[in-house]
Structure 1
Amino acid sequence: MNNKKIAEEILTAIGGNDNIDTMAHCATRLRLVLKDTEQIDENQLAEIEHVKGTFMTGGQYQIILGSGIVNKVFSELEKLTGKEASTTSEVKSQGTKRMNPLQQFVKMLSDIFVPIIPAIVAGGLLMGINNILTAPGLFYENQSIIEIHQQFAGLAEMINIFANAPFTLLPILIGFSAAKRFGGNAFLGAALGMILVHPELMSAYDYPKALEQNKEIPQWQLFGLDINQVGYQGQVLPILVASYILAKLELSLRKFMPTALDNLVTPLVSIFVTAFLTFLFVGPITRTLGYWLSDGLTWLYEFGGAIGGLIFGLLYAPIVITGMHHSFIAIETQLIADSASTGGSFIFPIATMSNIAQGAAALAAFCVIKQNKKLKGVASASGISALLGITEPALFGVNLKLKYPFIGAIVGSGVAAAYVSFFKVKAVALGTAGLPGFISINGLNAGWLHYFIGMLIAFSVTFIITVLLSFRKTYRQQN
C-alpha cells in the first residue's frame, strides 16, 4: 500500500493544501475542516484506493479509510501539508463555527446526550430484561416468567432497581454533561441534578397523580411566594435549561470574583441562585413544555398511525444526512423515561426500519454491481454493518453515491415504518437500531413479532425496488 500516494491524491481531490483549515483523524476517518467545500472533487475521491466513502457532518468533511489505514495516510498528509494535527475537539469546534444556528443547536444536543447514551442504554436494556421476566402472556398464557418460576422473582426486583436508576436520576447525568458542554464545572451540574431529584421532594412521577386527585402539593413559603417542593425525576428540559443558567452564571462570576474568594463564593452563589430560579419558575415552565412535547408527539403518532409512520420512515434517512437525527435523542430519552404513560419510544423502531433498509439497499447494490470491484466490496461490508445499526458507510459510501439504492431504501423504510406504526411497536430502551435491537422493544402485544416482520418488510421491499431500479438505469444507459 502506497500511503503517500493515497495522501497526495486525497489532497488534490479536496482542493489542495490551501483549502485545509484544520485536520485530525479518528479510528477510521480523516476529519477535515475545509475553507471551500465547492473545491472537493467527489468523483476523484471515489476513485482513490481505500477511500470507502465521504460525508459532511458538523462542519467537518470526513473521509472513511478504515482502521489501521487512516493513521498512516494522515501521517503522510501531515508531511505533505506541513500542518500540525489538531485534536478532534479542535476540529469539531472549528467545524461548528461554519454551521448555521439550527445545525449548532442540533450539535449542542448531540454533544450533551451522546456521552450519556451508554448509561441510558444499559438502564434501558435492563428494563427490557425486566419486562421479559415480568410481562404476563409473553411466554406463558396470562402469566409471567416469575409467576411460573418464582426463584427469579428476586432477580427481577434487583434488575428493576438497576434499570430505573439511570432514568429516575437522569437530571444528574444530564446536569454533568450539559454543564461541561456549556463551559461550566461539570460537577456543579451534577450537584444541581442531585438537588432536582432529592428524595425529600415529591417525586415527579407522583406529581401528576396528585394534581388529578386534588391532593395537597407540599410548598415552601418564602417572601410571599409559594414554591412547589416537587422533584424532576426523569425530566430532560428542566435540567437542560437550568444547566445553561448555571454555567453562564458561574462563568460570569469568575470574571470579576477575587481569586481568594473564587473557590468559595462562585460555587455557592451559582448553585443557590440557579436552584432557586429553577424551583421558582424555570422548572415549572420547562416541565410543562416537556409534557406538551411528549404528549404532542405521542398524540401525533397515535393519531397519524400508519400514515404518520410512512411519512417519518420516508424522511428518516434524509434527516440522518442533515445530522438532525441527533436531536431525537433528547425526545427519545423523555419518551422512554415516561414509558408508563407514553408506552415508550416510537422513534427507535422507525430508525431500525430505516437502518435495515439502508443495509438491504447496499446489499442489493452488491448483487447488481459488476465492474467496480472496489465499490462492490464496500457495498457488502457496509450492508452488513447497516443491518447491525451502523449505516454511515452504506448511506454515504454506496447508496447516495449510486442514488437508486437510496431511493429503494427510503421507500422500503417508509413501508416498514407504516407497518410498525400501525401495530404500535415501541421501544422501552435505547439500543442498537438494527437486528439486535429487539431486546429494546416492548414485547407485549406481539411487539417482537411485529418488529421482526417490519425488518423483513424493510429488507425485502428495499432489495426488490433497488434491483428493479438498477435494471431501469441499465436499460436507459443502453438506449
Structure 2
Amino acid sequence: MGKYQADAEKLLEFVGGKENIAAVTHCATRMRFVLNDPAKANEKAIEEIPSVKGMFTNAGQFQVIIGNDVSTFYNDFSAISGIEGVSKEQGKALAKQNQNPLQRAIAVLAEIFTPLLPAIIVGGLILGFRNLLEGVQIAALGQKIVDGVAATNVDGTPIYQTIVDVSQFWSGVNSFLWLPGEAIFHFLPVGITWSITRKMGTTQILGIVLGITLVSPQLLNAYAVNSTAAADIPFWDFGFAHVNMIGYQAQVIPAMLAGFTLVYLEKFFRPRIPEAISMIFVPLFSLLPAIFFAHTILGPIGWKIGTGISYVVNAGLESPISWLFSAIFGAVYAPLVITGLHHTTLAIDAQLIADFGTTNLWPMIALSNIAQGAAVFAVLFLHRTDTKEKEISLPSGISSWLGVTEPAMFGINLKYVYPFVAAMIGSGIAGMFSNIMGVRANAIGVGGLPGILAINGNIGGGWFAFTIAMAIAIVVPFILTIVFRQRGWFNKIDRVGEQAVAAGDAVDVPVAVEATPETTASNEVVTEELFATVNGTVIGISEVNDPVFAQKMMGDGFAIQPTDIHVFSPVTGTITSVFDTQHAIGILTPAGAEVLVHMGLDTVELKGAPFTVKVKAGDNVTSETELAEMDLEAVIAAGKATDIVTVITNADRVAGLTVTLGEATAKTPIGRAEILS
C-alpha cells in the first residue's frame, strides 16, 4: 500500500471521480487538475484530507497543495486512478476549457504584458525623475529669463526656473535619461511584437524585426503625424497606390494586431513548406506579408481603435459626470486585479499617453495601491499584539505602498474582507478627488507612493492635489477598516476557508494558513539555525509573488532575491529528494524539520534547463554545501522570477521562526526556527 494511497483515494472521490478529470499533473508542491466540471469538487471535504495543505483555482486549474512530497502523492494517485499525467504545458492548454472567451483573452493579454513590466516600471521611474528635473518650476531659483526678458505666463504670472535651467550637470543627466526613456516607451511596439511571438511559441527574432519596422527612423514619427499637413506625409509610391510612411511609436493595438498576424502566418506556412527549405521561405512568407499588412491595413485600423478607446476613456474622465466615472474606477480597480482584467488598463494607459501626452487613469491606479496598503496597516494596528500576523501584514503593507498589491490583497484584505471593502471605498473617494482636480501622469508603471514621481506638476492640481489624494487613500481606508471591524460589517466571509470572524468578535484571528502549535510540557523545542542560500536580498515569504508561498500554504520560511548563481543549503541536514525538474530540493534536519528549497517561481516548466544540481538524495549537507547553480539570465529570459524560496513544510512542528530581512551573503546565519521534536 502506497504512503498516500488512502488520501489519494479520497482526493479522487472528492474531485468528482475519474470521469471528472480532464488532466492532472504536478509541480514541486501541488497537484494540478483540469476538471471537466469544477463545481463537482467538494472543497470542504478535500480540506479535511490529512495530506492536503490548501487549494485554490487559477487559470482554469484546480490546484491542491500537498507539499514537497507531492511526487510520491502523485504516484499513488496515478496508481489508484489509472490516469496518466500530462505535461504542465498540456495542462495549461486543457485548462482553457474552464475559461470563458473573456478570461482567455485576458490571460493572453497578461502573458504579453507581464514580461514587459520591468522595463515599463523602470521607464516610468526615469520619466518621473526627468519630470522633476525639467517640469518643476521652483520660485527659489528665480524667474526664467528669455532673451534678456523675464518670462511670464499669458496672465502675467512669472515663469520660474527649473533645475535644468540652472544646472548644466542636471541638464546633461536629463538629456541622457531621455535615451532609455525613449527606448522603452517610443519603441514599445518592438517589445509587444517580441512578447507575442514568445508567448505563441513562434520565431522571436521575427517579432523583433516586425516591431522595428513599425518604429523605423525612415517613417514619420507617430508623435508628429497630427502636426504634419496631409500633403507633407511621406509615402511609398507603388504606381497604382500610395501607402503612407507613418510610424507607430508607443502604439499598442497596431503592434498587437501586427504581432498576431505574424504568428498565425508562421503557423500556417511552417507545416506546409518542406523542412529542407523552411529556414528560407517560412520567415520570408510570414514576415513580409505581416509588415505589408501592418502598414496598409492593421496599423491604420489599430491606430483608430486605440485612439477611439483612449478618447472614450479620456472623455469619460473629463465629462460632467467624471466624478462618478472616476469614483467607480477607483473602487473597482482592486477587484479587477483579482480577475486579471487590470491588464487591460495597461494598454489603455499607454494609448492615452500616446494620444494626449499624459494619462488620467494611472494616478487612480497608484491610489488604489496606497488604499490597499492602508487597510493592511489598519489590520496590523487592530492585531498589534499578534506577532505572527505582524510578520505577514507589515511587509505586505509596505509592498502595497510601493505598488505591488497582491501580497496585501491575498494575504490580508481578502482574508478578512472588511479591509478590502474599506480600501475600495477609500480608493474610490481618492480617485474621484484626483480626477476632479485634473491630476494626470506623464508615465505609467510606478505605483503606490512613488507614483507621485509620474505626476505632471503643471497640469490641474499637480503634485499638491495628488498629495491630498494620497492622504485620502491612507486615512479613509484606515478609519473604515477599524469601524467595520468594530461594527462587525463585511467580516463574516472567509475567502480561504479559515475560521471566520464573527460580528463584533474581538478575538484576533491569525493570518497564517497553518496554525502555530502550542508548546506543551511534553514537547522539546530544538532551535535550528537558518542560513542564507545565496547572495542577495532576503524578503519575507509573504512578499513572494506566488499565493501558495505568500499565504504560507506550504508553511513558513523566507525567500532571497539572488544576485549570484550559487545556491547553498539553508540548514544542516540530509537531502531527501531532488525533483526531476531540478528546480526544488528537499532536506530533513536532525530535529525533524522538512525543508524545501525552491529555485525560481513556476520554474517547473523549464524542465531543469537553468539548474545544475550538485547533490543527490542521501547526501549530508551544511550551510557550506552548494546545492545547485541557477542560471539567472536563463530564468529571467523565460519570464520567470528568480526568488529562491526556503519553506519548512511540516508546519505543525514549527513553534516559531525569525528571519532578518535585507542584504545577505550566502552561507551566513540569517535566522532561526524553533522545531518541536
Q: TM-score, normalised by structure 1?
A: 0.83
477, 481, 500: which one aligns with 1:466:
481
Letter in 2 for 1:41: E
Are 1:354 and 2:355 counterparts? no
Structure 1 residue 85, shift from structure 2 partner: 8.7
Letter aligned with residue 106 of structure 1: I
Shift of 1:170: 1.6
Measure how far apart 1:37 and its partner are.
3.9
Question: Which segment is superposed worse, 345-354 or 106-115?
Answer: 345-354
Residue 41 (structure 1) aligned to one of 40, 43, 57: 43
Separation in 1, partners of 2:393, 2:58: 21
**Cα distance, 1:391 vs structure 2:** 2.2
Structure 2 residue corresponding to 1:298, chosen from 314, 319, 324? 314
Q: Is the CA contact (8 Å cut-off) linking 1:382 and 1:394 kept in structure 2? A: yes
Q: Equivalent residues in 2 for 1:171-190 (5 A)?
A: 171-190=189-208
Q: 1:273 aligns with which of 271, 286, 289?
A: 289
Q: Distance in 2 between matches of 1:97 and 1:157?
A: 51
**Aligned pair partner of 1:323 in 320, 340, 343:** 340
CA 1:394 to 1:131, structure 2 compared with 1: closer, same or farther past 3 Å? closer
- For residues 155-210 of structure 1, what are the alpha-carbon distances to aligned partners after superposition, in whole Å with 9 as ceiling and x for unaligned? 21111122112222222111111123234211111111111222112221111111
CA distance in 2, matches of 1:267, 1:126: 36
CA-CA distance at 1:371 after TM superposition: 10
Contact 2:124 2:446 in 1 (8 A): no
Q: Distance in 2 between matches of 1:389 and 1:17?
A: 42
The answer on 1:251 being equivalent to 2:275 is no
Partner of 2:60: 59
Aligned match of 2:422: 408
More contact order relative to length (CA 8 Å, sep ≥ 6): 1
Q: For 1:431, what is the secondary structure of its paired residue? A: coil
In the alignment, what sits opposite 1:452? 467
Deviation at 1:476, TM superposition (A): 5.1
Shift in Å at residue 405 of structure 1? Answer: 2.0
The residue that corresponds to 1:207 in the other structure is 225
Structure 1: which 5+ residue stretches go unaligned?
Answer: none
Q: Distance in 2 between matches of 1:43 and 1:416?
A: 43
Identity of aligned residues (%): 33
Q: Is the 8 A contact 1:13 1:41 kept in 2?
A: no
- In terms of fraction of residues, the more strand-rich structure is 2
Alignment-derived partner of residue 212 in structure 2: 194
Alignment of 1:211-230 (within 5 A): 211=229, 214-222=230-238, 224-230=240-246
Shift of 1:381: 4.4
How is 1:26-425 mapped onto 2 (pairs within 5 angstroms)? 32-35=32-35, 36-38=37-39, 39=41, 41=43, 56-61=57-62, 72=68, 74=70, 77-78=73-74, 81=77, 89=89, 91-137=91-137, 140=140, 142-211=160-229, 214-222=230-238, 224-303=240-319, 304-336=321-353, 338=354, 341-368=355-382, 378-425=392-439
Residue-by-residue CA offset, 1:48-95 (whole Å, 9 max, x unaligned): 9997x97544224568x9xxxx96365565466459997765554343
2 CA distance for matches of 1:456 and 1:298? 25
CA shift for structure 1 position 444: 3.5
Question: Contact 2:363/2:431 (CA < 8 Å) preserved in 1?
Answer: yes
Amino acid at match of 2:217: P
Structure-2 separation of matches of 1:371 and 1:40 = 36
Q: Over aligned residues, Cα RMSD in angstroms?
A: 3.7
Residue identity in the other structure for 2:108:
M
Given residue 314 of structure 1, which amino acid in structure 2 is its aligned partner? A
Alpha-carbon offset, residue 270 of structure 1: 1.4
Provide closer, same or farther for how the CA distance between residues 471 and 25 of structure 1 changes in structure 2, counting only shifts above 3 A. farther
Residues 134 and 156, structure 1, Cα contact 8 Å, conserved in 2: yes
Give the stretch that moved more between structures: 87-96 or 342-351.
87-96
Tell me by how many angstroms 1:109 deviates.
Answer: 1.0
- Structure 2 gaps of 5+ residues are 142-159, 489-500, 506-677
What is the aligned length? 462
Greater shift in the superposed pair: 413-422 or 75-84? 75-84
Deviation (angstroms), 1:100 = 0.5
- What is the rounded CA distance, in whole Å, between the counterparts of 1:226 and 1:180 in structure 2? 33
Moved more, 82-91 or 285-294: 82-91
What is the Cα deviation at residue 106 of structure 1? 0.9
**140 and 78 in structure 1: CA distance in 2 versus 1, 3 angstrom threshold:** farther
Q: Once structures 1 and 2 are overlaid, which stretch shifts more, 216-225 or 162-171?
A: 216-225
Segment drifting more, 80-89 vs 223-232: 80-89
CA-to-aligned-CA distance 1:282-303 (integer Å, 9 cap, x gap): 2111112222122221222122
- Contact kept? 2:34, 2:91, Cα under 8 Å: no
CA deviation profile, 1:254-287 (whole Å, cap 9, x unmatched): 1211222211112112122121222222211111
Return closer, same or farther for 1:195/1:140 CA change in 2, 3 Å cut-off. Answer: farther
Contact 2:258 / 2:294 at 8 angstroms: preserved in 1?
A: yes
Compare 54-63 and 450-459 and name the one that shifted more. Answer: 54-63
Letter in 2 for 1:462: P
Distance 1:125 1:84, change over 3 A: farther
**Aligned-partner residue type, residue 112 of structure 1:** I
1:388-418 Cα distance to aligned partner (Å, 9 max, x none):
3332233233323323222212111111111
| CA 371–149 in structure 1, closer or farther in 2 if over 3 Å, else same | closer
CA distance in 2, matches of 1:464, 1:72: 41
CA contact (8 A) 2:128 2:443 kept: yes
For residue 447 of structure 2, give the secondary structure of its aligned residue in structure 1. Answer: coil
8 Å CA contact 1:175–1:243 kept in 2: the answer is yes
